[in-house]
A and B are shown apart, each in its own frame.
Chain A
């Protein structure tokens, strides 16, 4: 048996480029991030990369094998296969297979709060005409099961959904009843202030394994300043609600998120320390978006995206320190972006997808029977612009998918096809948000150089990549743990809104 040396298996000389994109590292312009079609990547010297593109890379160089392994180049076609690249691509886009998994039911617009940044156009507590009617609810449940997704996450929102809990209860019962013949996996979530929770409500939610999601903007002074109630005790009631929720539904059943106002941006450490004090292991640092009352009060509460990014950097470093000291805490949006950088999997959030998650990953059933592809579309409608209303709950799902609103969303919903996004190294990991661009810039396609969405995305990707790439081994491990937990096998986190 004659054995051949290594060179005999090298195949024909030369190589071809596979679809790839690159970005010079802002923190080191001599190097570039190079990403494949499916979001695998490496970092190389820009000079070397230039040689790669110009066809001058030599097979013997280590970079050759690295680029081959990540499907950035392909060597001899008679020895290679593109099957791994295709498989990676399908894995990254696997959320496409099932249709919307996140279904938001706005059971009422009524709310006790008068938050300046409210995106919802809330109504005072007494206005019950802003409650979802029985007929609307019945139709919505019908539509819900027309979608093929094997997992359905049903999220109750408002206003304050607890103010119309009878509707929540009726919907849960109707959905479970209907599910007996459908056999889907159901998840119930409620987005609530958790104020004035009754024992009855808690017991019901425990019996149906609800997850509670609430707003906690930070320490008491900040939270109450951002979220005024006539009684001025929003923080107290929120903390009480969190404790009672945990006691009845379990420690892990309650999550919290912040909304960041200009005031908030001055207190990154305090906000994180508050979450730690209350025993949270997960925090969501969400910047304001340009909807609802937030748009009206932009002058007072708003801030440029650059300020948010600066805040986030400080917050991230504080989080790393907290983790280093032995307390696990992740930031949910950062964790999602890291899961895209560091794993081959798709994530469960509808907010950052290409094709867009609007209508394809999430559907919103409003109290008045109108249906929207996302929360943002609903907020636009409440501001008077119905460009993205899909239709009504008494129409069929296929009518919604054929609607002009859906066409508008889809036509600008593929990031890989949008100007500037098409060339961006982060595009396989990022997403399209046509409704956000429409709201901010008046155009679903948007203009990337002036896009706050783009600025946020790139700023966060750059920051996280830099912290990981240049961080100590400990910090790298912390960031990896965030990403790996997110895509842990066996944990079916089918769909969430960030």
Chain B
């Protein structure tokens, strides 16, 4: 049980140290780190970079009012399997440029899919804000076989 507790509660915090410096990292939130290194030597995201646009790249404009940098970065990360991804800050939000890695990748309705995914990431951001600490406390409590003092009903015991 001790090993289990160490793994489930302490390891996530130690994990940050495991990501190598050579990766481009965005510190996101309090408990996880997104690594955006292209493991096959592809291009990395960098803010502000805007080089020549490739012929088959698709550009998506995103409104910063609704979608935070964090949300956009996490969404972009989901596409780094099939696409080279660049994000560029704009006065009103961000511009995301997606270049398919292979000709066979279908970019049908790509902008719509990206926006949908970004809206999902926004919901996830809300969930994380409300439940992040609770999650750690609950896991700890579960492994210690004791209820946490989080509900007054539980506290009466």
Question: Which residues of A line the B interface, CB within 8 A?
Answer: 16-22, 24, 29, 37, 49-50, 53-54, 74, 77-83, 85-86, 89-90, 93, 96-97, 99, 355, 360, 401, 410-414, 416-420, 422-423, 441-445, 447, 449-450
Contact = CB atoms under 8 A, between A and B. Distances in A.
A20 B131 contact: yes
B7 A413 contact: yes
A80 B142 CA distance: 17
A412 B12 CA distance: 8
Contact of B145 (A85, A90, A360, A447): A90
Nearest to A91: B142
Interface residues of B, number: 50
Contact of B32 (A355, A419, A441, A443): A419
A218 B150 CA distance: 55
Nearest to A90: B142
Nearest to A17: B130
B153 A80 contact: yes
Interface of B: 1, 3-4, 6-8, 11-12, 14-15, 18-19, 31-35, 37, 39-40, 74, 77-82, 116, 120, 123-124, 126-127, 130-131, 134-135, 138-139, 141-143, 145, 147-148, 150-154
B138 A85 contact: yes
Contact of A82 (B8, B19, B33, B154): B154
- Ranked nearest first, the 7 interchain pairs of A and B with the lowest CB-CB distance are A449-B81, A417-B12, A96-B4, A77-B151, A355-B7, A19-B135, A89-B142
B75 to A, nearest CB: 11
Given A80-B151, A97-B1, A355-B11, 6 more contacts: A17-B127, A18-B131, A83-B154, A417-B15, A420-B77, A445-B15
A21 B125 CA distance: 11
B20 to A, nearest CB: 8
Contacts of A355: 3-4, 7-8, 11
A498 B80 CA distance: 30
A454 to B, nearest CB: 9
B58 to A, nearest CB: 17
B126 to A, nearest CB: 5
A32 to B, nearest CB: 8
A401 B3 contact: yes
Nearest to B12: A417
B73 to A, nearest CB: 11
B141 A86 contact: yes
A412 B142 CA distance: 21
A16 B8 CA distance: 24
A410 B4 CA distance: 10
Contacts of B80: 447, 449-450
Nearest to B121: A423
29 contacts: A19-B127, A19-B131, A19-B134, A22-B120, A29-B116, A77-B153, A80-B151, A81-B154, A82-B148, A86-B138, A93-B4, A93-B8, A97-B1, A355-B8, A360-B3, A360-B7, A412-B18, A414-B11, A417-B32, A420-B78, A423-B124, A444-B18, A445-B15, A445-B19, A447-B37, A447-B80, A449-B77, A449-B82, A450-B81
